[in-house]
Chain A
Amino acid sequence: MHATRRALFGLASSLALLVALPASAQEFITVASTTSTANSGLFDHILPMFQEETGIEVRVVAQGTGQALETGRRGDADVVFVHARAQEEQFVEEGYGVERFDVMYNDFVIVGPGEDPAGVRETDTAADAMAAIAEAQASFASRGDDSGTHAAEKSLWASAGVEPAGRWYLSTGSGMGATLNTAAQVPAYALTDRGTWLSFANRGPLEIVSQGDQVLFNPYGVILVSPERHPHVKAQAGQAFIDWLVSNAGQAAIASYHVGGEQLFFPSAQ
Chain B
Amino acid sequence: MSAPFGTAFDLIVSGDPALYEIIGLSLRVTLSAVAIAALLGLPLGAALALARFPGRGAVIVLFNALMGLPPVVAGLLIYLLLSRSGPLGDLALLFTPAAMIVAQTVLILPIVVSLTRSVTEDLWAEYEEQLKSLGATRLRAVPTLLWDGRVSLLTGVLAGFGRASAEVGAVLIVGGNIAGYTRTMTTAITLETSRGNLGLAVALGLILMALTLTLNALAWSLGQWQRERIG
Chain A residues with a Cβ under 8 A of chain B: 4-5, 8, 12, 15-16, 18-19, 21, 30, 35, 39, 43-44, 59-62, 73-76, 175-178, 180-181, 184, 199-203, 230, 232
* Chain B 73-109 near chain A by CB (<8 Å), digits 1 or 0: 0000000000111100100101111100100000000
Whole-angstrom CA separation of A19 from B193 in the bound complex: 30
| CB-based contact A21/B31 at 8 Å | no
In the complex formed, the residue of A with least CB distance to B194 is A177
| 7 contacts across the A-B interface (CB closer than 8 A) | A12-B39, A15-B35, A18-B28, A74-B85, A74-B86, A201-B195, A202-B196
Q: Smallest Cβ distance from A84 to chain B, in angstroms?
A: 19
Whole-angstrom CA separation of A75 from B89 in the bound complex: 9
| CB-based contact B31/A59 at 8 Å | no
With A15-B32, A15-B34 as known contacts, state yes or no: A230 contacts B195, CB within 8 Å.
no
A19's contact among B36, B84, B95, B147, by CB below 8 Å, is which? B36
With a CB–CB cut-off of 8 A, which chain B residues contact A60? 178-179
| CB-based contact B92/A181 at 8 Å | no
Question: B residues 157-200 with Cβ under 8 Å of A?
Answer: 176-179, 181, 191, 193-198
Q: Smallest Cβ distance from A78 to chain B, in angstroms?
A: 11
With A59-B178, A60-B178, A60-B179 as known contacts, state yes or no: A175 contacts B35, CB within 8 Å.
no
Q: Smallest Cβ distance from A34 to chain B, in angstroms?
A: 12
With a CB–CB cut-off of 8 A, which chain A residues contact B191? 39
In the complex formed, the residue of A with least CB distance to B178 is A59
Question: B residues 125-160 with Cβ under 8 Å of A?
Answer: 147, 150
With a CB–CB cut-off of 8 A, which chain A residues contact B84? 74-76, 230, 232
Question: B residues 1-59 with Cβ under 8 Å of A?
Answer: 28, 31-32, 34-36, 38-39
In the complex formed, the residue of B with least CB distance to A15 is B35
Q: Smallest Cβ distance from B30 to chain A, in angstroms?
A: 10
| CB-based contact B196/A18 at 8 Å | no
With A12-B38, A16-B36, A19-B36 as known contacts, state yes or no: A59 contacts B176, CB within 8 Å.
yes
A18's contact among B31, B147, B181, by CB below 8 Å, is which? B31
In the complex formed, the residue of A with least CB distance to B28 is A18
With A59-B176, A75-B84 as known contacts, state yes or no: A16 contacts B39, CB within 8 Å.
yes
| CB-based contact A59/B35 at 8 Å | no
In the complex formed, the residue of B with least CB distance to A8 is B150
With a CB–CB cut-off of 8 A, which chain A residues contact B98? 21
Whole-angstrom CA separation of A12 from B150 in the bound complex: 14
| CB-based contact A39/B34 at 8 Å | no
| CB-based contact A76/B195 at 8 Å | no
| CB-based contact A59/B181 at 8 Å | yes
With a CB–CB cut-off of 8 A, which chain A residues contact B178? 30, 59-61
Q: Smallest Cβ distance from A38 to chain B, in angstroms?
A: 8
| CB-based contact B36/A59 at 8 Å | no
With a CB–CB cut-off of 8 A, which chain B residues contact A4? 226, 229
7 closest A-B pairs by CB: A177-B194, A202-B196, A75-B84, A15-B35, A61-B176, A201-B196, A74-B85
| CB-based contact B195/A12 at 8 Å | no
Q: Smallest Cβ distance from B33 to chain A, in angstroms?
A: 9
Whole-angstrom CA separation of A202 from B195 in the bound complex: 8
With a CB–CB cut-off of 8 A, which chain A residues contact B28? 18, 21
| CB-based contact B95/A76 at 8 Å | yes
| CB-based contact B195/A177 at 8 Å | yes
| CB-based contact A200/B195 at 8 Å | yes
A61's contact among B34, B95, B101, B197, by CB below 8 Å, is which? B95
Q: Smallest Cβ distance from A33 to chain B, in angstroms?
A: 11
Known pairs A16-B35, A59-B178, A60-B179. 12 more at Cβ < 8 A?
Answer: A4-B229, A15-B32, A18-B35, A39-B195, A43-B179, A75-B83, A177-B193, A177-B194, A178-B193, A178-B194, A201-B195, A202-B198
In the complex formed, the residue of A with least CB distance to B42 is A12
| CB-based contact B194/A232 at 8 Å | no
| CB-based contact B195/A19 at 8 Å | no
| CB-based contact B194/A19 at 8 Å | no
| CB-based contact A176/B31 at 8 Å | no
Q: Smallest Cβ distance from B77 to chain A, in angstroms?
A: 15
